[in-house]
Structure 1
């Protein structure tokens, strides 16, 4: 298989296995984004400008804190707080009806403090870095499915996908595939999702049964890690 831009991480994610190859991609992108943000880049003006403008979601501020670069994170958060204070002061000083062009590119003549805070609560520097690359990964999945028999077999042999990423693949399919190949892809995708959801559901059911004294002497089978795998399937969260 000829590896082009983005095909290596996509193939690596499917090779890694697990309950959702697309979650593998997200996990890798997330770690790289955290490392980048807390590396020397946080001293660069363009990076600091974006982190000050966008801030971080609850999940990623927690991961940044766990990175242990407390000085770097303190500098980043201080700049973000300076930005918020400056923007809110401007908005409130003008009877909450002005524009803060530095937050979002689209201007509004009726932009209030409440609007500002609401939009700020929905932005995250780490999420934006992940999302921009992940979109290209999704396109690469379909490119490889179209052109590489080896990848199609890898796709068919996977353990399916979490609900979130199943939905993304389902919605994006008609943008990249057509005719017989589109129909085949959807059939395979549905089968992978449902069969593997049932597999994990059955493992979880057996895990529950093991807490019943009647099953105390029965083997665990594949159920010992059923709960984190079920959470992966339903909520796209890695707990291992």
Structure 2
């Protein structure tokens, strides 16, 4: 099929020869989102309104700091703090219900509701998730409409456990009954064959620390540990 714009990153991921193309997609989206956030866009009113409102999660705040645009990050955090202070001063000044004589007050206060929302929200996460969902939809679209993609899927190195579960679950949402079963059948073979491959490489990596195998070749086990980390915990390492 003729490649459309939204299929390009999905095909690129499956061409990457990595242990999980879905991890590859998500890592690419994360890099792009961090670069976008720390680029000239942080001075745009609509972007700044969002970062002021929802802020960043701990993980992505660290990624933004690593970007080295310290002035840009300082400006975003300063106006985010301005809004947080203003909002919480208003909420904390409101009088709530007094405690009941006979039962505990279990209602969440507006202050706690606000702080819960703000610590669980992230501008970068939102940007990643919006595009990631489109990419997952595209995987199923290509499976249904592009025979070359099916060959590419079957030739891949499989998926991490998290994304295997995601694709398994999402099949019914995007494909009809027979197509969904066909996808799951292929998915199961791809996942288990490649999990066992990396497991076996990891086993040989362990054996190489035994003096009895010191003179044996490493085979494909030298990078088995980071590849196993991708498979088990979605820790994407470039080149895996």
Q: TM-score, normalised by structure 1?
A: 0.91
Higher-RCO chain (CA-CA 8 Å, sequence separation at least 6): 2
Q: Distance in 2 between matches of 1:85 and 1:21?
A: 42
Alpha carbons 1:145, 1:151 under 8 Å: kept: yes
Seen in structure 2, the aligned counterparts of structure 1 residues 89 and 96 have a Cα distance that, compared at 3 Å, is farther
What is the count of residue pairs matched by the alignment?
Answer: 229
Runs (4+) of structure 1 exceeding 6 A deviation are none
Structure 2 partner of 1:116? 114
Unaligned stretches of 5+ residues in structure 2: 98-106
Give the match's secondary structure for 2:15.
Answer: helix
Residue 57 (1) aligns with residue 37 (2) = no
Structure 2 partner of 1:170? 168
Structure 2 partner of 1:8? 8
Unaligned stretches of 5+ residues in structure 1: 98-108
Seen in structure 2, the aligned counterparts of structure 1 residues 129 and 96 have a Cα distance that, compared at 3 Å, is farther
Seen in structure 2, the aligned counterparts of structure 1 residues 183 and 210 have a Cα distance that, compared at 3 Å, is same
Q: Distance in 1 between matches of 2:207 and 2:119?
A: 42
Seen in structure 2, the aligned counterparts of structure 1 residues 237 and 95 have a Cα distance that, compared at 3 Å, is farther
Residue 158 (1) aligns with residue 156 (2) = yes
Q: Distance in 2 between matches of 1:239 and 1:188?
A: 25
Greater C-alpha Rg: 2
Alpha carbons 1:197, 1:233 under 8 Å: kept: yes
Seen in structure 2, the aligned counterparts of structure 1 residues 167 and 95 have a Cα distance that, compared at 3 Å, is farther
Moved more, 29-38 or 179-188: 179-188
Aligned residue among 166, 180, 183 for 1:182? 180
Structure 2 partner of 1:92? 92
State the Cα distance separating 1:44 from its structure 2 match. 0.7
Q: TM-score, normalised by structure 2?
A: 0.91
Residue 67 (1) aligns with residue 67 (2) = yes
